Structure 1
């Protein structure tokens, strides 16, 4: 029997590595009380958990508060330094788990979820009686806890950005990106909706994450922002115009050019150009240029080949001829596209171009 006052949870008993563990349903109110943040002054070698990244908390908290009817969390994993008593119901692995109030709890996995839950409860008290599953292990010392943390995290693999967009049925930008890809035959056929990077012989031209990034640039909006009907119409019409114009893309669609050859020989099959075209779309949309399709048609007068060093070296291409993916490269590529189809650069854009030219001359 546990001496003194204790927490009591309905739980399921299991066996891993020949040792018992328990899965219990814990009210969110209890989570914020029994699991405390680690002492940041402790040297890392004496901790079994990394320091809390406080910048992550507001986003997770907002996720809970903004989606009270649909948020979902995976289990927390915790070690308990104290007596654990499991009382089964009859001869089953279902029962009651008792843990002394004085026991020490260590989160092995889920400390950011715990911190976000604590902040969410301050905003919405109605969440107190909702629950989250916690997997409890017996604490067998610092080294064991450190190994648990390493084991729980070493095999974790982040999903691709494309998968995150594909499965996001809440964010307006994600929904619009998927609608654009689904509605335009060329994009539907040649967009990889899972990968962020295409393999050498992939039969696709684009990735969903690059299409999404381009659309974010067109509208100048970020995740969670609202999108009106005018926004949606322009994005859809703009991408239809691009797909009807880009000669290399249409060659792939007509089977006159393979997707792998298109990506190998032309820069307009790469994210740096797609996002730059997003900036171009933003310029056209914000300036309410009605005849913008005429400018889009001018894109076919541009030499998109990777051998065109005069236009793309230092912009979409590095000096070694590889694709340049950084933010500056995108802006410089946009500047060149804007200039080539007949628009003047503003002062800020001119300054960026001059800096690139001066840097290139200094390296020669």
Structure 2
């Protein structure tokens, strides 16, 4: 640890306090300065996960777009070197020889660095002056963003390790459903939340936004995550799409939402009135609903001009567990459970889609435009 002062300080706006007898500082550091001050020391950190870094970098870059909601929580660090607080100017002063050892947030810092470098690389490669200018403005905006940092003053290695343990291993991670409930960055999740509150069929059958699985005594038809994936299948043909100009984006969002609302109306008009009874039908299974979504994608992108009539034709499908038609399409009937059981998620989704392709027929009794 370098405690020797250089005589040169870098000042950041902030506040000072005390926690369990240790001097604590709170400041904000510009994104463009995080690489200079915030560092990772292996003895007090775990090995970095580059896949997670790339996800955060993508999240950070998307945060420069209009109408996107992106937030990074405070990083916690230990100052290795001289640090002080000026009460008069309300500034945290860090000596130029000092470094901030990251105790919680190394992936956020690495993600910010990667996001900045990615935009710089894209700018250097871009030949179109208009696109280059837009990228430059996004980079400028990103560099001027600030990251909150909680700084502990000069702790030894053992205390830094304990700080890492307490911040990372004792935190409670929210369930996937709760995470989706409060996520406003993924366009498919946003649409799922909106249509679950707007569509009268989804209001009738229910969309579960808290739990991670549905038991028989839960009358909701599906999880929010299932609806999100179903919409993604309908629009993009898979559940991994994150939205783009070719699938779902800000420019086409309202058009797609109207389309999805109509598709859901036709679909649920064609399904049994008690389709949320999972003891009776396979409809309430996540793989079935996603398989239907994939089937709709195939209809809309295939040769059938009358794809809506195929949706109406679903009223003639026997969706009951004991319908032997489902055998061979990703699962089998379990005599003991008296249920049709899918062997796996991917196989089940493809199985439902293929079953409908091979067995469903169009019906011309349709009133929708």
So what's the TM-score if we normalise by structure 2? 0.75
* Distance change (3 Å), C-alpha of 1:126 and 1:230: closer
Instruction: Name 1:235's counterpart in structure 2.
Output: 260
Instruction: Name 2:112's counterpart in structure 1.
Output: 117
Instruction: Name 1:56's counterpart in structure 2.
Output: 52
What displacement does 1:312 show? Answer: 4.2
* Distance change (3 Å), C-alpha of 1:88 and 1:33: same
Name structure 1 gaps, 5 residues minimum. 40-46, 253-258, 344-364
- SS of the equivalent of 1:263 reads coil
Q: Is the 8 A contact 2:39 2:99 kept in 1?
A: no
Instruction: Name 1:80's counterpart in structure 2.
Output: 79
**Separation in structure 2 between the aligned mates of residue 175 and residue 20 of structure 1, nearest angstrom:** 42
Instruction: Name 2:18's counterpart in structure 1.
Output: 15
Match runs of 1:1-364 below 5 Å? 3-4=5-6, 5-38=8-41, 47-68=43-64, 71-89=70-88, 95-122=90-117, 123=119, 124-189=139-204, 190-220=206-236, 222-226=241-245, 227=248, 228=252, 231-247=256-272, 250-251=273-274, 262-308=277-323, 311-312=326-327, 315-316=330-331, 322=341, 324-342=343-361
List structure 1 segments (4+ residues) > 6 angstroms apart after TM superposition: none
**Separation in structure 1 between the aligned mates of residue 348 and residue 38 of structure 2, nearest angstrom:** 46
Name structure 2 gaps, 5 residues minimum. 120-138, 363-369
Question: How many residues are matched?
Answer: 322
Range 73-82 or range 6-15, more displaced: 6-15
- SS of the equivalent of 2:12 reads strand
Q: Is the 8 A contact 2:181 2:193 kept in 1?
A: yes
**Separation in structure 2 between the aligned mates of residue 342 and residue 31 of structure 1, nearest angstrom:** 60
Range 205-214 or range 2-11, more displaced: 2-11
Q: Is the 8 A contact 2:287 2:349 kept in 1?
A: yes
Structure 1 or 2: larger helix share?
1
**Separation in structure 2 between the aligned mates of residue 230 and residue 96 of structure 1, nearest angstrom:** 49
- SS of the equivalent of 2:278 reads helix
**Separation in structure 2 between the aligned mates of residue 86 and residue 230 of structure 1, nearest angstrom:** 54
Cα RMSD of the aligned pairs, angstroms, is 3.1
